[in-house]
Amino acid sequence: MLFDIPIWKIVVDAYFVWVLAIFLVKFVISNKRMLSIAISFLFVYLIAYVANLLDLLVSGPILAYLAQWMPVLMIVIMAPDIRRSLEIVWKADARSDILVMGSERTKLCIVDAAIFLSSQKIGALMTIEKHNTLDQYAERAIMMNSEVSKEVLINIFTPNTPLHDGAVIIRGDSILCAGAYFVLSDNENFDKTMGSRHRAGLGISEITDSMTIIVSEETGHISIAIEGIMLKINDRDKLMEYVNMFMK
Amino acid sequence: MKRIFYLFIEPLKAFANRNFAEKLSTIYNKNKWIAYVLSIILTIVVLFLAYIIPNL
C-alpha cells in the first residue's frame, strides 16, 4: 500500500498514463506545425500559471480564460493537421527503421528530369522524403514503387496524361507514388502570383522535413522548397548541390 | 542589447522566432527514442501531481 492505495493500482495507472503520454508525444511531434502551435500553447499556459501564482488582477483571469479555451481553439485551427497526425500515430510506418537516401544515380535522374522538364516548360512537383513519413499522402495517390529514372519522371509529368497532376514522392531509390496532393501553404509572405503547385510544395516543406523540386509550367523556372522556404534555382549545378546536400 | 529589448517589447514574437519546433523536430527525427523518454518524464510528472502532491 502506498498512500492507502494498492501498489498494483498505481502501477496499472502509471502504465495507462504512459501509453497515453506516448500517443500524445508522437501525435504532437509528428507534425512541425502542430509542434509549433503546441509550444506556443505551452508558453501561454506557463504565463497563465505565473499570472495565477502572482495573483495578478487583470492578466490572471484573462490568461486563465485563454488557457481554458486553448484546446478548442487548437482543434478549430489545426483540424487538417490533427487528422493527418492521427493517421501517422495510428498506422505503422511502412518504411524500415534505417533511413536510406537515394544513390548517386537517383540524384542524377532527378536533376536531369527537372532540367529537361524545365527546358520544355512542363510543370512538375517532385518530393523527396527524409525522416518524416509521407505515407498518408501516398495512400491517396497512385502507388508506383518503381525505380527512379529520368524517363519515368518525364513521362509522369507529360501534360494530358493521367498522372501528370499532383506530386511524385521519392523514397530512397524508388518512386513511391505519383499524383499525390498536399496541403497548400497559407504563408502570407509567399508571392501571390505563384500557382498552387508552388504552394503545395511549400506546404509539404512546412510540415515535414522533405525537399520538393518544383518546375513552373508558365516560366519553366525550377524552385526547391525545404523547411518552409522556397528557393529559386538558376542552373543545374546549384540544383545538384542542393540535392546532394539533402540526400547525403 | 537589441535582442533583450526585442524580447521585452514582443516576447511572444521573439519566442516564436526561436524556431523551437524546427529544432525539436530535427532532434526527434534523429533520435526516435526521445518520444519514449519524454513520455516517461510526462508520466512521472503526472503521477507526482496526482499521488505525491495531495499527500504532502
The pLDDT tens digits for A197-210 are: 888 998 888 888 88
pLDDT tens-digit map of A218-228: 888 999 998 88
What is the arithmetic mean of pLDDT over A5-29? 87
Per-residue pLDDT of B14-23, as tens digits, reads 766 667 777 7
Q: Which of B43, B44, B45, B53 to mutate to test the interface with A (most CBs of A within 10 A)?
A: B43
- pLDDT given for residue A69 in this prediction: 87
Whole-number pLDDT of residue A97:
58
Residue B4 has pLDDT above 80, yes or no: no
pLDDT in tens, A164-191: 888 999 998 889 999 999 888 877 777 7
CATH 3.40.1700.10 fits A104-246, yes or no: yes
Instruction: Quote the pTM value.
Output: 0.67
Question: A93 pLDDT exceeds 60?
Answer: no
**∠ at Cα A112 (A133, A183), nearest 5°?**
35
Average pLDDT, chain A: 85
pLDDT score for A116? 92
**What percent of chain B is modeled with pLDDT above 70?**
86
Q: At B52, is the secondary structure helix, strand, or coil? A: helix
Comparing alpha-carbon positions, the chain A residue that sits nearest to B54 is A3
| Closest residue, chain A, to B47 (C-alpha) | A14
- The whole-number average pLDDT for the span A232-248 is 87
Question: Which residues in chain A are closer than 8 Å to B29, comparing Cβ atoms?
Answer: 130-132, 209
Share of chain A above pLDDT 90, in %: 23
Set of cell numbers at residue B21: 519546433
In this predicted structure, what is the pLDDT of residue A111? Answer: 92
Taking alpha carbons only, the member of B15, B37, B16 closest to residue B28 is B37
Q: What number is the average pLDDT over the span B3-13?
A: 72
Say whether residue B18 is in contact with chain A using an 8 A CB cutoff. Answer: no
A125: pLDDT strictly greater than 90: yes
ipTM given for this complex:
0.77
Residue A84 has pLDDT above 90, yes or no: no
Contact B25 A14 (CB under 8 A): no
Residue A50 C-alpha, separation from nearest chain B C-alpha, in angstroms:
15
Residue A32 and residue B21: Cβ atoms within 8 Å? yes
Residue B32: list chain A partners with CB under 8 A: 97
A123 min Cα distance to partner chain B (Å): 30
**pLDDT tens-place string over residues A23-82:** 888 888 877 777 878 888 888 888 888 888 888 888 888 888 888 888 888 888 778 777
Q: Is B24 in the A-facing interface, judged by CB distances under 8 Å?
A: yes
Max Cα separation, chain B? 47
Q: Do the chains contact at A26 and B51, CB–CB below 8 Å?
A: no
**Residue A96 pLDDT:** 55
Q: Cα torsion for B35, A206, A82, B39, to the nearest 10°?
A: 10
Which sequence spans correspond to the domains of chain A?
7-90, 104-246
Between A70 and A83, name the one with better pLDDT: A70
Whether residue B47 lies within 8 A of chain A, CB to CB, comes out as yes
